[in-house]
Amino acid sequence: MLRDLINNHTPLKNNFERLSTLFQCAINAYKYPLNGNHLSQLGELSGFYCVKDIHQRMLQHPVGQRILNDKPRVTPETFKIEELLKLDENTFGYQYGKFMRDRDFSSGERPIVKYIPDLELAYVYQRYKEIHDFIHVLLMYDVSVYDEIVVKWFEMAQLGLPSATLSAFIGSFKLNCQEKQKLIETLPSILKRANKSEFIMNVYFEEHINTDITQLRKSLRLL
């Protein structure tokens, strides 16, 4: 399941090459905001030490340890939308399937990690990207600019990744006045949920496909 990570790995020879690549990714992310590859690569290059911290938190948790050992992936093959939509409507699996179907999304569209040198850490960052839509479903936020920014605030508070922080702060300035006011009113609640809830990287989502969505939110302390 890690062959794509291995094949996509692009080693950077030294710190100068890393910094120059980081700078170029930052420029491209600003110039082409709709191209997810640039922001994704910027996140990899800027978040190495945060990913190490996330890895340590996973190692210190029994479920996190199992995830690191099993290395499950979120792909169109492992999460078949047509199968998920056959489940009871109140299940996490059905709600995720409906979320993806209604927006014509595919889990296979997530860019593969390229620049993180350690395979274990590359998997951790890939896992973070692949469960992003799960977070939308659990928090009950859509994919508008406003909704995406709220989710990024949650991710920033939980994970501390520079890419999430950048998206949360910079993205907030792109909102109109009404959306900014709504965000100001929403932030205390979303930050409280992030701080009190289960560490999202230690959730073995694959084992909750048939779990009642409300019960899952309660068990993760998201309600």
* Binding-site annotation: residue ranges: 132-133, 136, 148
Half-sphere exposure of 162 (CA within 13 A, CB side): 15
> Which sign, positive or negative, has the C-alpha torsion 179, 184, 188, 191?
positive
Q: How many CA atoms lie within 13 A of 45 on its CB side?
A: 23
Please compute, for residue 156, the number of CA atoms within 13 A of its CA located in the half-sphere on the CB side. Answer: 19
Do 45 and 115 touch, CB atoms closer than 8 A?
yes
- Residues 138, 100: contact at Cβ < 8 Å? no
Residue 111 identity (one-letter amino acid): P
* CA nearest to 137, candidates 40, 216, 36: 216
Q: Which backbone phi and psi does 212 adopt, to 5 degrees?
A: -55, 130
Binding residue ranges for Zn(2+): 132-133, 136, 148
